[in-house]
Structures are given as structure tokens and as C-alpha cells.
Homo-oligomer: A and B are copies of this chain.
């Protein structure tokens, strides 16, 4: 049974998590699967029209400082985005439409880096196209597949499943019935998976 890594491209703590999960899992021989989803509809269902880090300014101020410290401790570059949150919808559609491609993790990481280290607009189609090109992937067919009605539907279904499963934030790690929330629970999740046959 693999450890499921549920991530949202707009989510701040998903940035360090996405950057380090693959190496951390490989070091313990735990298989992971990447599960893109959207937090927006889950937040909206509880009446939030914005990120809780914007709705609660004290919590937001703390989060930015905490994230900066954590990225420094991981040796990850970090720059607070000039706009937050940036929509991760297109980025997630691309990820979902290609989640079985071997290049998926190599696509996910640069998208996070663009948002949280380079302050680039990942909601912009040309930015996603540029990132795909840098991977040697022709953007047009990938983006067309991502924006097909069937794939848009699939992302809605995926997000509904996440909501029903009890996911309320990102990143979230699932191992069977067990849930772990946050970059700071990656080690706990990997330990659990190791002890329970992951």
C-alpha cells in the first residue's frame, strides 16, 4: 500500500513538502503516489472565500515567518509571493491529467518553486507552458489534455473525494485510514507507513 501525498499548488506548506517528500520516502523505501486536488472548494464549503492565512492576519504573519524558517532549515530557497494565494487550478489540472507520467514529480517541484521561490504567476498559462518546455515537454498537447472537460470533471471528483475523506488542508498524507496533515508530519507519516507495511 503506497503513502498518498495530497497537495494543492496554492498551499504554502505544500511547497517544502513537495520538494522533499520523494527523497524522504525513498530513504525509507516507502512508495508514494501524488494526489493533486483543490482546497478552494473545501474552504468554500465551510464558508471561507479566501485562504485562512488572509482571513486571520495574525496566523498569516506567523505562517510566513515559520515557512521562511523551515525552508531555511531545509536549504530551500524561499521568497514570499507578491500575491497570495495564486490559483493552482491549471497547474493541478495538468498534474491530474498526467499523474501516471514518470515526469510528474519533476513538473510539480518547479511549479512550487515558481510560486514560492521565484514569485512567478503559476495561474498564468504561459508560465505553466514555460515550465513544461524547460522539462523538454511540448506544452500545447499537455495543456489541452489538462483543460479537456473530462479532466476538469475528474479534478472536481477528486476534490469531492478529498473532502468526503476528511481532508481539510494541505499537504495531507494518507495511509489507509490514517491521516497526517502538514509538512511537519511527513516523518510521522513515513514512520507509520514503514511500521504498517508501506
Q: Which residues of A contact B (CB under 8 A)?
A: 46, 56, 58-59, 61-62, 65-66, 69, 73, 166-169, 178-181, 184-185, 188
Contact = CB atoms under 8 A, between A and B. Distances in A.
A56 B179 contact: no
A62 B184 contact: no
Contact of A179 (B62, B166, B168, B180): B62
A69 B184 CA distance: 14
Nearest to A177: B65
Contacts of A59: 168-169
Contact of A181 (B66, B73, B167): B66
Instruction: Give how many copies assemble into the complex.
Output: 2
Contacts of A56: 46, 168
Given A46-B56, A56-B46, A62 B188 contact: no
Nearest to A59: B168
Contacts of A66: 180-181, 185
Q: Which 4 A-B pairs have the closest CB atoms?
A: A58-B168, A58-B166, A59-B168, A184-B184
B166 A61 contact: yes
A18 to B, nearest CB: 19
A187 to B, nearest CB: 11
Nearest to A65: B179
A178 B62 CA distance: 9
